[in-house]
Amino acid sequence: MFRSCRREVQRALSEEGGSNLVAFAMVAIVFFMITLGAVEFSRAIYYYNIISNATRDGVRYAVVRGSSSGPACGTWSSAKCMASTTDVQDYVRSRVPGLNAASVTVTPTWTPNKAPGSVVQ
């Protein structure tokens, strides 16, 4: 009787029925880490591109609306007017979809002033 019990225990311990589940769990963890890493990397590139485009558009907005463009702008969407720092900040913040506009820092500068020919950064 003890021999048959011992054989049953040895046979149960030597079977590999659960090894497939363990192997799947290890491979699945690595697979999901790589997949989620690729998704996060893609999101980072997307936001970098959005911020770059908003920066370029903001500089163009400031260049087109320099000191010789007319009176001060009423809103950032006004045309033929002189843009202030606030107008440029509002315009750039409107160009970043998917980001919290309040967390976007915009610091436009005109070197040496807003006169035609000045450098906008």
Residues 70-107 pLDDT 10s:
777 776 667 677 888 888 888 899 889 888 888 888 88
Confidence of residue 43 (pLDDT cuts 50, 70, 90): very high
Contact 88, 58 (CB under 8 A): yes
Q: pLDDT band at 13, cuts 50/70/90?
A: low
Evaluate whether 70 touches 82 at the Cβ level (below 8 Å). Answer: yes
| pLDDT at residue number 76 | 63
Is the model's pLDDT at 44 over the cut of 80? Answer: yes
- Above 80 in pLDDT, residue 55? yes
- Helices (H), ranges, the chain: 2-14, 19-64, 85-93
Contacts of 80 (CB under 8 A, 6+ apart): 69, 70
Q: Is the pLDDT of residue 11 over 90?
A: no
pTM of the model: 0.68
